[in-house]
Amino acid sequence: MAIKVFIPTPLRAYTDRKVEVEAQGQDVGEVLEHLMQAHPQLRGQLMNPDGQLRSFVNVYLNDEDIRYTGSKKTPVKANDTLSIVPSIAGGCPAAVASGRC
């Protein structure tokens, strides 16, 4: 089945500026694979060279992080939505003699 996938702002450069696209599959892995086949430039943004999701890429099926629901094997059903959300973190290192970050 086809479900809706929400695309974060910088990645819309690879989805013809679309905020949401439809992708097909029975589970999250299939949906992501279909999404990347339809928009090949997304693959390098979402995946490491070894085919795993990049460490800062979070994927939510509705309100649930797929890491806690079966990862790519999480089944999808009609009217589900998939959201791609980056982890956001940063900051200075511990105070150092130079006072520079």
Partner 1 sequence: MGLWMPGAQMEAVLRHGEATYPHECCGLLLGHPAADARAPRRVVEAHAMRNANASSPRNRFDFDPKEHLAAQRQARERGLEIIGFYHSHPDHPARPSQYDLDHAAWPGYSYLIVSIMEGRAARGEAAARSFELAEDRSHFIQETVETTGTAGSAPESA
Residue 84 CA: distances (Å) to CA of 12, 22, 95 = 12, 13, 34
CB atoms within 10 A of CB 76: 22
- Give the one residue of 4, 12, 43, 72 binding partner 1; rule: CB under 8 A: 12
100 binds partner 1 (CB under 8 A): yes
**The one among 10, 40, 49, 51 contacting partner 1 by CB under 8 A:** 10
Closest CA to 87 of 65, 72, 70: 65
Where on the chain is the footprint of partner 1 (CB under 8 A)? Answer: 6, 8-13, 19, 45, 56, 58, 60, 63, 65, 83, 85-95, 99-101
